[in-house]
Every structure is written in C-alpha cells, then in structure tokens.
Amino acid sequence: MLNTKIMQASSICAAKISIGVRAKQRTEKTDSIAMADSSLPKWAQKTVSLPPLRRGCHLVTSKIVKEIEQDLSGFKCGLAHLFLQHTSASLTINENYDTDVRDDTETFLNRIVPEGSSAPWKHTLEGPDDMPAHIKSSMFGCALTIPITNGKLNMGTWQGIWLCEHRDHPTARRVVVTLNGI
C-alpha cells in the first residue's frame, strides 16, 4: 500500500514524497515508471573555481550560474547549496545592481574589524590582514542555500551572490555547489 503526502514547497513548486516499502503498481507499467522517475530526488555537485579577485565584495552570480546551468536546468524544484572552501573569504547574498553597496559593505567591515599594528590579534603568522579576514569570514559565513524553481536559482530581482575577499593579496577561490531536488 502506498502512503503519499503532498508537501507544498511554494506556490510554484510542489514535491510528491512517497512513504512506505512498496509502491502501488499502476495499471500500465509505463505510467508507473514515468511517475516514479519524475518524483525521484536527484543530486548534482560541481566545484566552481573563481579567479583571484582584489580585496572587497564581488558579484559572482553569473560565473557560478554559467558553471552549473546544465545541471541546474534539470531540476524543477530543489535547493542549491554553495560552500566556500576557504577561511579568509566569505559568501553572502545582497544587492546585485548598485556597486556602491559592495563598496560600502567593504568600508563597514574594515571599520568594525581592526587591522594593523594596533589590532589586538595574536594570530599574525600569515600577515596582518589574515586574522581580520578570518573574523570577517565568520561574520558572513562560507555557505549559502538558494531555492531552485524550474531550473533556475530563485532569488529576488535585486539579489546576487557575492564573494567577499578579505585578504590584501588575491587568491583563486573554490565554491562547491551541491544541487538536490526533483
């Protein structure tokens, strides 16, 4: 016997979740297979390499989407998880239009996290900007979760994915993007 629940994910996207050991057989074998295939969860994962970027906040939405769009297009409903594999940079979602927002955010971060010889940090082995970079990374975080709807990241009109580079010397960064859904 098949127990089925409908979980409303949004007004656009609903996922059918089967609970139980055996699925109820439909009268036609092809109907049963087609229904099972369309509701089976799937996964995809890719590591996106971002080029070295100067210190500051950078809009990287188009670069990430370009790298994952082939896999992304196969999802009707799901989640995209982005994980930055670094401790001196961060990811956030914010304004995607006015570059002043990115500049103002960098100014704010530099005012609240002191650097230089007067800063109270013990960890200075990798340079005077390293410990402040770790703190800034912890403030914004290294992971994002974004809904997927009809093969696209479902963000607001003015939202974009930012990579915030907190070090003075640019380095390439890696973002692991994991997609799951139906």
Share of the chain above pLDDT 90, in %: 76
Residue 9 pLDDT > 90, yes or no?
Answer: no
CB under 8 Å to 182, separation ≥6 — which residues? 15, 38, 39, 40, 41, 42, 75, 76, 77, 78
Residue 47 pLDDT > 70, yes or no?
Answer: yes
**What's the pTM value of the predicted model, to 2 decimals?**
0.81
pLDDT at 4: 39
Instruction: Give domain 42-181's CATH architecture.
Output: Sandwich (2.60)
Outline which parts of the chain fall under CATH 2.60.120.460.
42-181
Mean pLDDT of the chain: 86
Q: Which of 12-16, 53-57, 90-94 has the lowest mean pLDDT?
A: 12-16
Residue 20 pLDDT > 70, yes or no?
Answer: no
Residue 130 pLDDT > 80, yes or no?
Answer: yes
Inter-CA distances, 98 with 30, 58, 59, Å: 51, 12, 11
Which alpha helices (H) appear in the chain, and where do they start and end? 29-39, 61-72, 99-112, 130-140
Range picked from 12-26, 29-43, 78-92, 112-126 for highest mean pLDDT: 78-92
- Tell me the average pLDDT across 6-21: 41
Per-residue pLDDT of 142-152, as tens digits, reads 999 999 999 99
Cα 56-59-61 angle, rounded to 5 deg: 150
| CA neighbours closer than 13 Å in the CB half-sphere of residue 50 | 31
Higher pLDDT, 181 or 35: 181
Inter-CA distances, 101 with 7, 8, 44, 132, 139, Å: 37, 35, 32, 21, 17
Residue 21 pLDDT > 60, yes or no?
Answer: no
Assign 38 a pLDDT band (cuts: 50, 70, 90): low
Burial 31-68 (b: 16+ CB within 10 A, else e): eeeeeeeeeeeeebeeebebeebebbbbbbbebbbebb
Q: Which of 54-58, 62-66, 112-116, 135-139 has the lowest mean pLDDT?
A: 112-116
The whole-angstrom separation of Cα 48 and Cα 84 is 10
